[in-house]
Amino acid sequence: MNHSTLLQVRALHHSYGPTEVLAGIDIDLPAGRCLALVGPSGCGKTTLLHLCAGLLDRQEGSIEQPFAPTAVMFQQPRLLPWMNTLDNIALGLKARGLARGARRAQARAMALALDLPELSLAQYPAELSGGMQSRVALARALVLQPALLLMDEPFAALDVGLRYQLHRLLLQQQAASGMAVLMITHDLTEAVRLADEVLVMAPAPGRIVARYRPPGAALARSDALVHQGSAELQQHPAVRAAFDLPALIPQAASAAEPASPASGSWLPVEQSCRRAQESCG
């Protein structure tokens, strides 16, 4: 994997009719990194992801997306209900024109790598639990060996245990393949656990209000570090404002303040975002 490959979004604006949903978005995502977009519902995260995936037409600004191939994991599993698990996983491979035997072998290997039971491979999506369906959707994306994986709240419907399990699987796969990951989530803990950089978005219009770099490398991040990081993230005034949380009582803030050596770092929010903030009051 060429590490100079870079997904670059500059001064991106997008509107649905008169409603501006994205204003002055700048993103840099190099190969092998994971970028998490967090923000309240309706702040344009999904629009941004769909623009990067090429599912929406760009209106203003630039997107340089040199990664190929890409894979998308949607909010719902979006499996084809009339195909069994194995064929669902192999869907993207079939689209590439891979022969039936080869694509099934790859799909099976990926399914087993994601701990899907052998028995489930012949079952239809309706027979699988929600967690298994998510896993199938993840396998369908990963089996393509994407250089860029785009994920839209992929684990939102899962319980903490399953979520944790899939996080580990995802990080291991990423470490092995060196793919770039752009993920959307509501969940600050999930963002801090997985990402090399967390972008916090505020709504109306969607813009980036904070950039946070969690401590350490994602795979090595301990639970304690993750919780500390997400607490740190949640205490940031811009994050509290974006999520419409009440401002912190000063004493509490100062009690949590002491920055331990392991804490993450804040990055400057770039120029075009500030301009957007000003122009939108």
Number of residues in the chain: 281
Q: Of the ranges 66-74, 173-181, 192-200, 212-220, which one interacts with another protein (CB under 8 A)?
A: 66-74
CB of 136 to another protein, least distance (A): 13
CB of 79 to another protein, least distance (A): 9
| Interface residue with another protein, options 1, 59, 80, 115 (CB under 8 A) | 80
Q: Of the ranges 30-38, 124-132, 188-196, 254-262, which one interacts with another protein (CB under 8 A)?
A: 124-132
175: which residues sit within 8 A by CB, 6+ positions away? 219
- Based on the shown chain and the rule CB under 8 A, indicate whether residue 168 belongs to the binding site for another protein: no
The structure tokens listed for 37 are 């977009």
Q: Output phi, psi for 144, to 5 deg.
A: -75, -5
What is the DSSP secondary-structure string of 142-168?
HTT--SEEEEESTTTTS-HHHHHHHHH
195: which residues sit within 8 A by CB, 6+ positions away? 34, 35, 36, 183, 214, 218
- Based on the shown chain and the rule CB under 8 A, indicate whether residue 67 belongs to the binding site for another protein: no
Quick one: 37 or 90, whose CB is closer to another protein? 90
CB of 152 to another protein, least distance (A): 10
Quick one: 94 or 240, whose CB is closer to another protein? 94
| Interface residue with another protein, options 119, 126, 247, 249 (CB under 8 A) | 126
Cβ atoms of 22 and 30 within 8 Å: the answer is: no
- Based on the shown chain and the rule CB under 8 A, indicate whether residue 83 belongs to the binding site for another protein: yes
| Interface residue with another protein, options 7, 26, 35, 74 (CB under 8 A) | 74
CB of 195 to another protein, least distance (A): 22
Q: Of the ranges 18-26, 34-42, 78-86, 224-232, which one interacts with another protein (CB under 8 A)?
A: 78-86
Quick one: 124 or 266, whose CB is closer to another protein? 124
Across the chain, the runs of DSSP E, i.e. the strands, are 6-16, 19-30, 34-38, 60-64, 70-73, 148-152, 180-185, 197-202, 207-213, 265-267
Q: How many CB atoms lie within 10 A of CB 255?
A: 10
CB of 196 to another protein, least distance (A): 24
Which position has the token pair 């963002």?
A: 191
Q: How many CB atoms lie within 10 A of CB 144?
A: 20
Q: Of the ranges 121-129, 175-183, 228-236, 246-254, which one interacts with another protein (CB under 8 A)?
A: 121-129
- Based on the shown chain and the rule CB under 8 A, indicate whether residue 63 belongs to the binding site for another protein: no
147: which residues sit within 8 A by CB, 6+ positions away? 1, 5, 31, 67, 68, 69, 70, 179, 180
According to CB under 8 A, which residues from 177 to 196 bind another protein?
none
What residue ranges bind another protein (CB under 8 A)?
A: 53, 55, 71-72, 74, 76, 78, 80-83, 91-92, 94-96, 123-127, 140, 144
